[in-house]
């Protein structure tokens, strides 16, 4: 096997590692957004058969 084969293989592995790192960062950011949403105060109002969920700091 030639050096070019190993260089190509190493480059492919690097590309895959970069894609995985990007995906992990994306999931980490989404998890942070969800955690912040859980920390947001919420209020549930029931009026007859209608329910309304409001969220935000103006409760």
Contact in structure between 38 and 49 (CB atoms under 8 Å): no
Range of the domain at 17: 3-55
Strand pairing class (42-47; 50-55): antiparallel
Beta strands in the chain (DSSP E): 42-47, 50-55
The structure tokens listed for 26 are 């994306």
| Nearest alpha-carbon partner for 42 in 56, 26, 58 | 56
Q: What is the pLDDT of residue 12?
A: 92
Q: Quick check: 19 pLDDT over 80? A: yes
Q: What is the pLDDT of residue 45?
A: 81
Domain count, the chain: 1
Q: Quick check: 57 pLDDT over 60? A: no
Q: What is the pLDDT of residue 56?
A: 65
pTM of the model: 0.54
Name residue 46's beta-bridge partners. 51
Q: How many residues does the chain have?
A: 59
């Amino acid at each position: 096997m030639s050096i070019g084969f190993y260089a190509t293989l190493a480059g492919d592995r690097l590309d895959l590692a970069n894609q995985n790192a990007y995906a992990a960062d994306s999931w980490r950011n989404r998890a942070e957004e969800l955690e912040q949403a859980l920390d947001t105060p919420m209020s549930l109002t029931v009026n007859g058969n209608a329910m309304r969920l409001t969220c935000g700091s103006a409760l």
